Amino acid sequence: MLKSDPNTYDVIVVGAGHAGCEAALAAARLQRRVALVTLSAAHIAHLPCNPSIGGIGKGQLVREIDALGGAMGRVADQTALQIKKLNHSKGPAVQALRAQVDKVYYPRAMRAIITGTPRLDLIIGEAAEITVDNGMVRGVRLVEGRHLSAPAVVITAGTFLRGSLTIGTKTWPGGRMDENAAEPLAANLQTLGLKLGRFQTATPPRVRRDSVDFTAARVEPGSAEPLHFSFVSRSSRPLQLPCHLTYTTPSTHNLIRQNILESPIKSGAVSEHGPRNCPSIDRKVLNFPDKQAHPVFIEPESLDSDELYLQGLTTAMPELLQTAIIRTVPGLAKAIVTRPGYAVSYDYIPPHQLGPDLQTKIVSGLFAAGQMNGTTGYEEAAAQGLLAGLNAARWGAGETPVVLGRDQAYIGVLIDDLVTHGVTEPYRVYTSRAEFRLLLRSDNADLRLTPLAIDLGLADAERRGRFARRQVAIAALGQVLAATKLRPSRGLNARLAESGGGPITQAVSLEELLRRPGVNLSDLAKWTSVLDIYEDDVRVTATVDVKYAGYVKREVARVARYQRQEGRPIPADLDYQQLRGISFEARERLTLVRPLSLGQAARVSGVSPADISILMVHLERIDAKHGA
């Protein structure tokens, strides 16, 4: 490749949302020349809905993105207005971080990383066509006519593919408010043979800060302890701005019911499936008629903005009606709406058309990531983007793709769910989707994935050094816990009694004491100074290793059984239509998904254990025929 050619690249990424940014950065970290095409430099890593990062399941994804060298965690730390740990009182498998981030400074920080990355060119323009020759990607043609050449292209179009916006009875083209839809690209993808579906999402109204009575709402503070998404950065803002919690009232619900025909979901102006985890307030009132109140979180958007986000009041009803609904909520009786809520309908690619490397099955070298794959959320988009960018870079170099297993990462669970099960509504990650969630904890994401990042070339020197030091510290703390003993004392036994345990009558190791329910390292640190030198994140991982050792051992055994089934490959050209004995539905679904392993085949919807048994016998016959 001629480095001087301004139109020739190794990887082209279309779209600079959260998926596009991570895709471009991942490919550039692998020393590839990358073009990142976007409609507007001002909207790189834009936060059009809730300016928050993380949450249950999502927080695990952000830590995994960071462990693989991604940028989302670092930028969230730099621009956090508030950060907290969710499910603090529950087990480590379901604990996760969530940050309210600055809507103005988050995109600026990500844009600075993008523009400061070597070999990454930011190109302002609209992609009109993916150029293809004999089923292989050749590049991207922009609306203006310019052609960018590359052997690999990643599409991260978000909600822009034939996007349309709706408020009340008004519907008009757009990918987001005041941004054009991607009409030519949607038509081009269909021309290439990709089937498109249609989904919908929405955002709530914003209100002016000085019009809110915060005394009528409950303060929701951030965590007192220092928290960080990134295993490397320690630059989280010191401030913890408060969020506030209030609730809808019977008056809210009555007003919505009286005007329900004005709702786009009732009038038919919006008919596509939306995210189940984030329904509009009008849908909640319809679906839960007996519920007297729904929570509404009043959250800051930026230090440079007086706008507040009303999480829980998503709606696309007419603007005047939105104001009336908001003013029935305690604390919002005099609220001034600065921006109305609206719905977005858009085309997406049903993900059974993708392989587990996120490459399309129809066009070689064409990858897809983010919301256009049928997901919802910045975190799910960024996770897909990182893997798609990584695999696009490896594809162009003739290297094998990277596929994360369900036992390795939530990213693996996310992508396997998409390509194996498909979607009937916008998909979001939950901890309940992961069979091995005790192994896929937020605290150990680097231990699981940073060695892979180092092998692949995704980890820089700073990350490699910090990871090595953290490994040493965790091992050392484990030895300290086993070797250090505490002798009985009145104060220690009183604390043990408070936690519901019995007193000790002889010297007992810290490890033995830590195994007790209700005892943690902060308790033990009061009785010995040997723990003082260890950072909080080291203490957390060491504590889990001790307290959950038996459960982890059983889960590791389950992983071994899982890997045996995942390790049984299925020939890519297997003709399921000729396979006797399996059900018609199984034939159709297996032909559609084309699973790569027996384990993946077993997860395909409509495939029964009996079908898998027959498939296993058929694979054994193939092995015998070829002398395997």
Q: What CATH number did the domain enclosing 577 receive?
A: 1.10.150.570
> Which CATH number characterizes residue 500's domain?
1.10.10.1800
Residue at 302 is within a domain: no
- pLDDT tens digits, 124-174: 999 999 999 999 999 999 999 999 999 999 999 999 999 999 999 999 999
pLDDT at residue 268, rounded to an integer: 83
Token look-up 């709702």 returns: 263
Q: CB atoms < 10 A from the CB of 520, how many? A: 15
Number of domains in the chain: 3
Could you identify the residue written with the tokens 């940014």? 21
Q: What average pLDDT does range 324-347 have in this prediction?
A: 97
Does some domain include residue 600? yes
Query: Do 177 and 48 have their domain in common?
Result: yes
- Residue 2 pLDDT class (50, 70, 90 cuts): very low
| Same domain flag for 483 and 608 | no
Establish if 327 belongs to a structural domain: no
| Same-domain pairing of 35 and 166 | yes
Q: Is the pLDDT of residue 236 over 80?
A: no
- Domain check: are 390 and 487 in the same one? no
Mean pLDDT, residues 269-286 taken together: 86
> What confidence category does residue 606 fall into, taking pLDDT thresholds of 50, 70 and 90?
confident
* pLDDT one-digit tens code per residue, 392-441: 999 999 999 999 999 999 999 999 999 999 999 999 999 999 999 999 99
Q: Is the residue at 209 inside a domain? A: no
Determine the Cα–Cα distance for residues 59 and 62; give it in Å rounded to an integer.
5
Task: Give the pLDDT score at 388.
Answer: 98
Asked if 440 contacts 92 with a C-beta cutoff of 8 angstroms, the reply is: no
Q: Is residue 331 part of a domain?
A: no
| pTM to 2 decimal places | 0.93
329: in domain: no
Same domain, 25 and 145: yes
Of residues 585 and 63, the one with the higher pLDDT is 63
Task: Give the per-residue pLDDT at 442.
Answer: 95
Domain presence at residue 616: yes
Together in a domain, 68 and 133? yes
Domain co-membership, 45 together with 149: yes
Domain boundary residue, one of 500, 517, 552: 552
Same domain as 150, residue 45: yes
The answer as to whether 296 is a domain residue is no
User: Span 27-36, mean pLDDT?
Assistant: 98
pLDDT(1) > 50: no
Residues 591 and 543 in one domain: no
% pLDDT > 70, the chain: 98
CATH number, domain at 183? 3.50.50.60
Residue 361 CB neighbours (<10 A): 16
> Among 339, 320, 295, 442, which Cα is nearest to 103's?
339
> Do 466 and 582 share a domain, yes or no?
no
Q: How far apart are CA 459 and CA 454, in angstroms?
A: 5
Residue that terminates a domain, selected from 552, 578, 595: 552
Do 35 and 147 fall into the same domain? yes
Question: Which helix (H) or strand (E) element contains residue 164?
Answer: strand 164-167
What's the pLDDT at 213?
98
**Tens of pLDDT along 288-297?**
999 999 999 9
126 in the same domain as 69? yes
Domain that holds residue 581: 567-625
From CA 440, how far away is CA 548, in angstroms rounded? 13
Mean pLDDT, all residues of the chain: 93
